[in-house]
Amino acid sequence: DINLSSDTYTTDNNHTTRPIHTNPAFIQQLKDDLRDHRMILFRNQTNLSGQRQVDISNTLGKIQSFFHHHPQSPHTDILRASNDPAVGCTNVGRSGWHNDGIYQTRPFQFQTM
């Protein structure tokens, strides 16, 4: 099991110790697995901070933040969508629920949730 919320460290081929989400081999494996399987689930990520989610997302490519920030969102680059305006942003995307960029000319290559 991989705990992305902890400061779990790995040692890469160059014997450099770093947090797992910054290890180039881990990042490449993550990208490869996403392309091959279209979805990856990391179970039991109970303490994953908003900043860590953004850090991990940044390893996959440039984050596109062009939406409204909801007060309940853990980070300004994280869209908190909901059908309850007290909990998150409503009417997201063209159809009222899409937040995956498929309506754009060039959709997102990766999306984290």
What percent of the chain is modeled with pLDDT above 70?
A: 73
Amino acid 68 reads H
- Across the range 48-55, mean pLDDT stands at 87
Q: Is the pLDDT of residue 40 over 60?
A: yes
Render 19-88 in DSSP notation, one character per residue.
Answer: EGGG-HHHHHHHHHHHHHHS-------TT--HHHHHHHHHHHS-----SPPPTT-SSTTS--B-SSTTTS
pLDDT in tens, 52-99: 888 888 888 888 776 678 899 888 888 888 889 999 888 776 665 555
Q: Which two tokens stand for residue 66?
A: 């062009």
Indicate the average pLDDT of the chain: 78
Q: Rounded to whole angstroms, how far apart are CA atoms 3 and 10?
A: 12
